[in-house]
Structure 1
Amino acid sequence: MTTNFTPIDMQTWQRRDYFYYFTKMMPTGFNVNVDVDITASYDAAKAAGYRFFPVYLHLITRLISEQPEFMIAQRGEQLGHYDHLTPAYSLFHEDDHTISGIWTAYDTDLATFNAHYMADKERYSSQHGAVAKPDQPENAYMINMNPWLHFNNYTPLSFNGLPNYLPVIEAGKYVIENDRRVMPVSFTIHHAVADAWHVSHFFEKLQRALNTPDTWLK
């Protein structure tokens, strides 16, 4: 997919004052951790022949693309937003327990995206090092899954001081509660671009989609 970047007019942007406050006066980000019920979508994905992880990547990326506040970035001095994001995630190497970063081109069609994911996994699974797949696009955001740990809180920390307004999302190991599969999802975002309402709205959409895979998992 072609990536489009739309500049933000700071003179008319509704969030201008909040952006200034949370970047200049009180630089702030926040993290939210929510347990979601993945039972229906997990079962539907398996029945359709998909692994759950690429389905998770696709669904999260699609929902993010519905909210422009989660796609804001800075090009030089120009602030703007993309029309979609690219999921960047980690491959785990069983032989030495290390991870390598890769990314998969997003497509609105799940089957097409899944084919891209499987091709990337096949090509780069044996390549070790911090970065296995080069040329990560500028609209890539961090999304991962920790299948070994069901956590109550996960807060990624950045130490480079660079502006990063794209979300960071991490899922954890699901557990069985009352015959339901419950999975923790961590969402971290810069307060300059989003408030609690935006993240709450995202999780409402996520749970609704997870409950109704027949509407999107073809």
Structure 2
Amino acid sequence: MEKKVVFENAHRKKHFEFFNTMNHPHFNITANVEISDFLAQIKKQQLPTTYSLVHLLSETANEVKEFRWRVRNNEIIEHSMVHPSFTVPTDEADVFSFCTVTFQSNLNDFIEEAKSVRDAMKTNPSIEDEPGRDDLLFMSAIPWISFTSMQHAMHYHPHDSVPRISWGKFFQQEGKTMMPLSVQAHHALVDGRHMGAFFEKVEQKLRSIGDR
């Protein structure tokens, strides 16, 4: 389900038009987030790390409405819900396949569907986007590197407005387990305030997963 977004505020409209005309309107922020409590809780509950993390990040993105906005024909469309399309290894080659899973608020139901889609992708991998579909969140894990920045491949003409969310190798810092988290979004839709809200919500959820 989707609806059209029309800005009533003149400055917000000008902000959209300013960034939307750029060749590369995306901006990226990378920060380290603590995942000590998150890892302890999913281990206690015997939950898979990747799917639990994808679910948490997808849930957070859905709570910040600007992460559900997309530019389509120079207009803004708001989706009622967006869904993760994340990378998984395959049996066919040493490169990844996309694994697109319908987001569900129930974590266990989401994990079961993710496992099913992942199993299908192992022998029948997909690298193509679904034509005309933009209700997605592009996600990827880089578990070999505790990176400090990230740049994603994408079309410049025309550019898309799907956010990119990536995480890297966990590392220890002052007795805490940390994870680099990179978020790339279309600046005509998402501003620093919205990006900050996303990171704040992620950090809160990582601390309180055991209460959910």
Partner residue, 2:97: 100
> How far off its partner does 1:160 sit?
3.9
> Cα distance, 1:197 vs. partner?
1.4
Secondary structure at the counterpart of residue 141 of structure 1:
strand
Matched with 2:6 is 9
What is the aligned partner in structure 1 of residue 17 from structure 2?
20
What residue number does 1:89 align with?
A: 86
Distance 1:126 1:186 in 2: 29
Which residue matches 2:41? 44
Structure 1 residue aligned with 2:137: 141
Cα distance in 2 between the residues matched to 1:145 and 1:75: 28
The yes-or-no answer on 1:153 pairing with 2:110 is no
Query: Residue 212 of structure 1 aligns to a residue in which SS?
Result: helix
Identical-pair percentage: 18
Residue 39 of structure 1 deviates from its aligned partner by: 1.0
**Could you list the runs of 5+ residues in structure 2 that have no partner in the other structure?**
none
Structure 2 matches for 1:66-85, cutoff 5 A? 66-76=63-73, 78-85=75-82
Provide the rounded CA distance (Å) in 2 between the counterparts of 1:153 and 1:72.
Answer: 24
State the secondary structure of the residue aligned to 2:43.
Answer: helix
For 1:14 and 1:166, locate their aligned partners in 2 and report how far apart those are by CA, in whole Å: 23
Q: Which amino acid aligns with 2:44?
A: A
TM-score, scaled to structure 1: 0.87
Q: Note if 1:61 corresponds to 2:58.
A: yes
State whether structure 2 residue 184 is matched by structure 1 residue 188.
yes
2:120 matches 1:123: yes
For 1:84, the aligned partner's letter is M
Select the residue among 164, 169, 172 that pairs with 1:168.
164
**Contact 1:102–1:134 (CA under 8 A) maintained in structure 2:** no
Residues paired across the two proteins, number: 212
- Show structure 1 runs of 5+ residues with no match: none
- The answer on whether the counterparts of 2:55 and 2:110 sit within 8 Å (CA) in structure 1 is yes
* SS of aligned partner of 1:98: coil
The worse-fitting range, judged by mean Cα deviation, of 178-187 and 19-28 is 19-28
Distance in 2 separating the partners of 1:214 and 1:14? 42
CA change 1:27–1:134 in 2 (3 A) is closer
Note if contact 1:86-1:137 (Cα within 8 Å) is conserved in structure 2.
no
The residue identity in structure 2 corresponding to 1:117 is: A
Whole-angstrom distance in 1 between the partners of 2:87 and 2:65: 25
CA distance in 1, matches of 2:150, 2:8: 36
Distance 1:81 1:134, change over 3 A: closer
1:201 matched to 2:205 = no
Q: Do the aligned residues in 1 keep the contact of 2:139 with 2:165 (CA within 8 Å)?
A: yes
Q: Given that residues 145 and 170 in structure 1 are in contact (C-alpha distance below 8 angstroms), is that contact kept between their aligned partners in structure 2?
A: yes
Which stretch shows the higher mean deviation, 95-104 or 144-153? 95-104
C-alpha change, 1:11 and 1:198, in structure 2 (3 Å) is: closer
Cα distance per residue 1:139-163 (max 9 Å; x no partner): 1120111111110111214234223
Aligned to 1:29: 26
